[in-house]
Structure formats: structure tokens, C-alpha cells
Amino acid sequence: MKTSIVGYPRVGTLRELKYASEKYFKNAITAESLEQTAKAIRHTHWSVQQTSGLDLITSNDFSFYDNTLDTAFLLNVVPERYRALNLSPLDTYFAAAKGYQGEHGDVKALAMKKWFNTNYHYMVPEIDDSLEIKLVGTKPFDEFIEAKDQGLVTKPVVVGAFTFLKLTRFTGVKKALDFADAVAKAYTEILMKFNALGAEWVQFDEPYLVHDLTDEDIMLFEALYSKILGSKVAVKVLLQTYFGDVRDCYDTITKLDFDGIGLDFVEGKQSLSLVKKYGFPVGKTLFAGIVNGKNIWRNHYIKTLEIIDELQKHCDNIILNTSCSLLHVPYTLDNETKLDDKYKKHFSFAEEKLTELSELKSIIGSANPANEEEYIRNASLFAERRDCSNEAVQKKVAALTDENFTRLPAFAQRETIQKKIFNLPLLPTTTIGSFPQTADVKANRSSFKKGEISEAQYKEFNKKKISECVKLQEQLGLDILVHGEFERNDMVEYFGECLDGYLFTEKAWVQSYGTRCVKPPVVWGDISRRNPITVEWSVYAQNLTQKPMKGMLTGPVTILNWSFPREDISLKECAFQIGLAIHEEVLDLEANGIRIIQIDEAALREKLPLRKSDWKSEYLDWAIPAFRMVHSGVKPETQIHTHMCYSEFGDIIKDIDDMDADVITFEASRSDLTILAALKECNFKTEVGPGVYDIHSPRIPSVEEIKTALHKMLASIPASKLWVNPDCGLKTRGNAETVPSLEHLVQAAKEIRNENS
């Protein structure tokens, strides 16, 4: 039995690509030098896969920014506004990825969205009626040749035609089906080229297939692949799916002429039953995704072997595979020098997962699997009782009643009370929490972590930063202030570090967007709060100003969604444990004079199950209560804010309103404010601050631009409910763009207030 993976991480074990790209953007290195770094990273990755004994090594899973964007450029899907900048191909690519503001022009980036149910973001391709889709790029071929020069015949990976079209935004009247022929032709050419180059397999990633599919979707899929597979050449085609099962199209895909089909047996609840029920086509290869590409716990070999046993009854060719790309897990445990072995032995990052695949391969190949050393070691690891429970916490969760999930009095009454006591101007201005994490801020934190400075010195520096930040916000004329979050590396890791039951890593970075990474903490055991976490900072900041200072917390759903979760208790149980801890923090902030508390649920939308039928039962039924319990019991005059990123929450708008916050701010600028109609239609009760400009790009929005956005918002949202804010935290930005952007924001709000008074 051979082994394969869906894809490998690409930012470099020590985030080399991130550092090199950042230097390139600052003109500190040349494009050639950036290319050299990229090449070295690819080389290393191929070597690691080869050394691990992996049979099918991937290529074209590398990207400077995003694989979907790469595919768009490969297919000539480049909006005219980026071409018109007349930049080099690489810089045109980066302009589409990040926006561009400079001597060649001023354009916003393409929209960015969550990649299915992960915390990775892809760039949304954009097609207008005049665009001609054709194969124009060479990246996949170049990288295939590059690996070949290293002596490897790789399995190139390309985002599949169907998923590509389904993720694309069509700005004219033409729709996906109108481009199907051209797309199919381009993909046919891709296959021919790989055939000529000597590839054995080409992998087309079609994760979109795990959604609920309509008849039109299936028609589109068939139209595309009957053409792509029609003029078949020797190279074998792998249809790779992941993040769920393909219950709506199992029949369709098994009838088409694919040589291999990749199914996910980790997240795909029905994958196994589909194979059992309908069988698997004779002569084809099943790429069985049995090693979890998303979580970091060791594979339980006994369970995996049971699945493989079942599968072998129905399939004659099986290749062991990961459930999805390893992009979603960190590189290697070798970089974790501080984590005790008693923990480490339970974990498996990308490199260790390669080892798991090779161990599984040898166990399966053995005449007597249960006698194999790796098998025995794995079985005894899982037989061990992990020391991770806290009975008091378990009891508290078990004792929760309706009261714990209900804030009184009801929203309308609170709104009246709060309007009176805060007495804010129309369209109050605020920010989402963090201010630029400049080099000095990071250096201070890292010196403290390394023990180079004392805790007192560390705090003193942060306090200086806070006071500068407060002063700046007062000068800018913002209405509700924030302390700036200088003490936080990351909104989840920071809380993880202050909660019992969490483990932290040093280098376990996972890509979030572009080359930006997050370092998710690990939920090891039952969660509880040791001590107050944010109170000292918030109180210090509040004492510097007469204006209300927002306390700033991360909500339980986001903490959980951005952590590596346990697999031995339910997500609901874990979310409630975290909810209890954050609830204690909310009450402490309130007791210490903080009158506005923002509880970020940046990632709430992200883990919404891909299938509608699972939304409530598997997610919203516990996620919304987990948030509600955090602010139940606070006084009516305490204003609770929440914030969400990339809020494509049109379809769960009622549930968002049911979180029962007083104010919600969210990302909207990159998705062209499409959410407004939905807010209006459902009579959204919560006050709202749809972001007026995009903070993921260094461009500075003009006053006019912000006013235009606000006018558009006012057409759907009553002025009495509208807030004015950027679309997310400012920590990734520099002061150079932050200060003028906020000046423009405040100015725009003032001008609109005048129009309305």
C-alpha cells in the first residue's frame, strides 16, 4: 500500500517565506532573492517528504500568497485594474493579493474569504463578462520541473475546475456555466502538459464537492469533467475531496473516468458508509484520507486499521492519504524544545504525520500487524489515561441552567438605558481593539519572554504604550477608546496562556492568510481561569481618560475554534468550559469599573458546518449559548460589544442577533457591504458597526470613500443603530497608515453627523 499527502505547509519551518516577502515588500530584497528563498523552501519540503518514505510527493502546493490566486493567474483570471498598473507579473500578483497604492495607481485587493471550515483564507477570483479564460501561466509546470531536477517525479496539485468556478465571483451577467468550456479546455491543456513532462498523477482539489450540492452544481461538475477527462492521456487524474463527505455526488464522481478518488475519512461522516453502500469502482484507486490534516493529535492506529480493513473489502487499490492538506498543521515537533515529552508523545505535526503514514504502511504490509513495534507503541499510548481533568469545572458545566444563558433585561430596555448613560453622538466612532504592533512592542514582549527584562520593566513599557495610544485616540477624537492590546501576541494564544488546561507551543505556526500565521494553542485538558487576565491593563487605561474604555476579551467560540481542540470530549463541553472562564473575566472587568466590554467572536462563522443540515445540531445549538453565557448576569448599563471577521453571515443572521450583544462590529468592506440588505430584512436589533475600511491592506481610505460607505450603510441601518469603525484590529498595520486612516474615519463620521442633524 502506497502513501500520499494532499499538500504540505509552505511558509517554511521558521516562516522563512513570511520574512522574505515582508522584506521584498519593503524593497529590502530583490525579486530574485525572494525567488531563491522560495526555491530553498520547496527543495527542503520535497526532501523531507522523500526522506520520510512518502510515495507520492506533492508539487505546486507552494504559493507566494494563495493557491486559489495562483490558479486564477494560471488561467488568465486577472481583473483589468491589476493589469493596468503595469507592474511585473510578480507585483501584479501581489497587487491583487494585497492591494496597491503607489506611483502606478491605487487599487484595492481582491476579496478574501475563509477557506471552507478552516482558518485559512483564500483570495476570491473575479471574472467579468469580457474575461477570456485560458491557460497562460507556467507555475505548476515550473515547479514540477524544478522537483524533477531534484530527482523527483512529483504529483502536482491544482485547485480543480469546479471548485475554482464555484469560489469565483462573477461581476457581469455571465455565470460559471458560461465559462465551463473555456475552463475545461484550460484544464485539458494542463493535463496534456503534465503528461508531456512525465507526471504519473495530477491531483485536482475539489473540496467544494463536500457541500450540499444543487442539480446545477452537479451538472456543472459533469460538464467540466466529461470534457477534461474526455481527451485522456496517460497521466492519471486524482479527484481529491476533503473537509467532509461527498454524499450528493458519490454516484457522479465514481462514474466519471477518474483514475483516483480522494475521500476524507476524518471529517467525512458518511465517507465510509458511502463506500460500503455503493461500492468503489473496480480498477480505480481510493486515496483514503485517514491521517487528520487539521488536528495535531496522534493517529490512533487501531481505529485507522479498522477503517482500512473495511475499505479493503470494497476497493482493490488503496493509497493511504491525509484527510486534507497539511497546510493546516504546524511543521514539526522538533521545534518544540520546551514542551515536555509527556505531552509531545500525544502530538503529531506535519513531519510526524509523514512518519505515521509510513508506519501505517508498514503495519498494514505486515503479516502480523499486532506484533509490529509501532503498532504496540501506538496502542499503549492510547491505552494510557491522560492526566487532564478538573472535576470542579466538569461539575459547573453540568449544573448550567437556562438562567446562565439569559441576560436580563431584554435588549430594547438595555438599549434605552445605555443610550441615556453613555450619551454618545450619533454614529459613535471606535476601533476593534488592537493598535499597530510595532517593532518595539514585539521586542519588549520577546525580551520579557527570554527573561532579558523583568516583569516590572515589561509592564512599564506596555503602560507607556497604552498611555500614548489613549492620547492618540483622544487627539483623533474617537468616542470609545481601547487600550491597544500591546500585551497580546495573538487574541487566542494570549487567553490560552492565562487559562489552565491549555498548552502552548513555540514554533507551531499555521498559515492564516498570505504568509501570515497564527500559533493556535492546544486544549489539553479541562479549562479554568487561574487569575484575572485583562483587568489590570483595562483599568490602567480607563484611568487615563474620561471617555469609556472598552475591555477587550476573546469569546469562547473563537478561543476554541482557533485552538487545536481535544478529541476526547465534545466541542460543546469544551466551549462551555471556556465560556465559564471568560464569564468570570467579564464580571471582574465590570466590578472594576469597565463599562463597555467587547467579547470578540472573530471566528464564530468559520466553523459553521459546510452542510446546512448540520448547522444547528452540530454547531449553533452550542456556539450561540456559549457566547450568551459569557455576558449573562452583567448589569443592564454595561454595554457588551462583539466583533466578527469575514462575516458572511447572511444565512445565520438571526443566530447572530440571538447572541444578544448590544453592539456588533464586523468585516464588511472587502465583501462590498453585501450584508446590509440581510440586516435590514431581518430587522436586526443589535447595533452594528460594519467596517468602513479594509485593514488587511496598507492603503489609506479617503474621507469621501468612507462617507460613501456610510451613506450606503445608512440606507439599510437606522442612524441610531450605526457605529463607525475599521473592519478589524489594527495590529498588523503600521502607524503611518493607521493614523491618517483613523483621521479620515473620524472626519467622515463628523461630516455625516452634520448632514443628519
Q: Is 696 a catalytic residue?
A: yes
Distance CA 175, CA 697 (A): 29
Distance CA 608, CA 598 (A): 22
Beta carbons of 58 and 205 less than 8 angstroms apart: no
Shortest distance (Å) from residue 554 CB to ligand GLN: 7
Shortest distance (Å) from residue 497 CB to Zn ion: 20
Which of ligand GLN, Zn ion, none interacts with 491 (beta carbon under 5 to 8 A by kind)? ligand GLN
Question: Which helix (H) or strand (E) element contains residue 642?
Answer: strand 639-644
Shortest distance (Å) from residue 695 CB to Zn ion: 8
Which of ligand GLN, Zn ion, none interacts with 490 (beta carbon under 5 to 8 A by kind)? none
- 274's CB contacts (< 8 A; 6+ apart) are 245, 246, 247, 250, 263
Which of Zn ion, ligand GLN, none interacts with 433 (beta carbon under 5 to 8 A by kind)? ligand GLN
Beta carbons of 49 and 354 less than 8 angstroms apart: yes
By C-beta, is 161 or 491 nearer to ligand GLN? Answer: 491
Using rule CB under 5 A, residue 69 touches Zn ion: no
**Which one among 135, 159, 191, 645 touches Zn ion, defined by CB under 5 A?**
645
Site for Zn ion in 273-302 (CB under 5 A): none
Which of Zn ion, ligand GLN, none interacts with 15 (beta carbon under 5 to 8 A by kind)? none
Shortest distance (Å) from residue 265 CB to ligand GLN: 32
Distance CA 672, CA 668 (A): 6
Residue 163 sits at the vertex; the CA angle it makes with 157 and 167, to the nearest 5 degrees, is 120
- 730's CB contacts (< 8 A; 6+ apart) are 431, 432, 434, 435, 436, 695, 738
Shortest distance (Å) from residue 646 CB to Zn ion: 8
Q: How far is CA 657 from CA 167, 642, 682, in A?
A: 27, 11, 9
Residue 566, classed as helix, strand or coil, is: coil
Q: What is the strand order of the sheet 596-600 is part of?
A: 550-554, 596-600, 639-644, 663-666, 687-690
Percentages helix, strand, coil for the chain (3-state, rounded to 5) are 45, 15, 40
Using rule CB under 5 A, residue 552 touches Zn ion: no
Dmax (CA) of the chain: 83
Which of Zn ion, ligand GLN, none interacts with 710 (beta carbon under 5 to 8 A by kind)? none
Residues in contact with ligand GLN by CB under 6 A are 432-434, 485, 491, 552, 600, 602, 643, 645, 728-729, 731
By C-beta, is 645 or 679 nearer to Zn ion? Answer: 645
By C-beta, is 113 or 643 nearer to ligand GLN? Answer: 643
Grid cell of 661 as nine digits: 450583544
Which of Zn ion, ligand GLN, none interacts with 428 (beta carbon under 5 to 8 A by kind)? none
By C-beta, is 123 or 159 nearer to Zn ion? Answer: 123
Shortest distance (Å) from residue 296 CB to Zn ion: 25
* Sole window of 115-123, 642-650, 671-679, 683-691 interacting with Zn ion (rule: CB under 5 A): 642-650
* Sole window of 167-175, 188-196, 544-552, 724-732 interacting with Zn ion (rule: CB under 5 A): 724-732
Distance CA 288, CA 266 (A): 10
Using rule CB under 5 A, residue 539 touches Zn ion: no
* Sole window of 219-227, 232-240, 637-645, 706-714 interacting with Zn ion (rule: CB under 5 A): 637-645
Shortest distance (Å) from residue 677 CB to ligand GLN: 23
Which DSSP state fits 73? H
Q: How far is CA 396 from CA 524, 581, 585, 680, in A?
A: 19, 11, 16, 39
By C-beta, is 336 or 600 nearer to ligand GLN? Answer: 600
Residue type, 357: L
State the DSSP string of 359-409.
Answer: HHHHHHHSSSGGGSHHHHHHHHHHHSPPS---HHHHHHHHT--GGGG--SS
Active-site entry in 45, 211, 328, 696: 696
Size of the site for Zn ion (CB under 5 A): 3
Using rule CB under 5 A, residue 481 touches Zn ion: no
- 615's CB contacts (< 8 A; 6+ apart) are 608, 609, 652
Beta carbons of 728 and 665 less than 8 angstroms apart: no
Which of Zn ion, ligand GLN, none interacts with 290 (beta carbon under 5 to 8 A by kind)? none
**Which one among 38, 183, 602, 724 touches Zn ion, defined by CB under 5 A?**
602
* Sole window of 29-37, 404-412, 709-717, 725-733 interacting with Zn ion (rule: CB under 5 A): 725-733
| Closest residue by beta carbon to ligand GLN | 729
For the CA atoms of the chain, what is the radius of gyration?
A: 26
* Sole window of 28-36, 89-97, 322-330, 599-607 interacting with Zn ion (rule: CB under 5 A): 599-607
Which of Zn ion, ligand GLN, none interacts with 210 (beta carbon under 5 to 8 A by kind)? none
**Which one among 728, 746, 748, 749 touches Zn ion, defined by CB under 5 A?**
728
Distance CA 592, CA 551 (A): 11
Shortest distance (Å) from residue 739 CB to ligand GLN: 16
Q: Which residues pair with 554 in a beta bridge?
A: 600
By C-beta, is 246 or 559 nearer to Zn ion? Answer: 559
Which of Zn ion, ligand GLN, none interacts with 6 (beta carbon under 5 to 8 A by kind)? none
HEC states along 433-461? CECCCCHHHHHHHHHHHCCCCCHHHHHHH
Shortest distance (Å) from residue 601 CB to ligand GLN: 9
By the criterion CB under 5 A, which residues form the site for Zn ion? 602, 645, 728
Question: Which positions are annotated as active-site residues?
Answer: 696
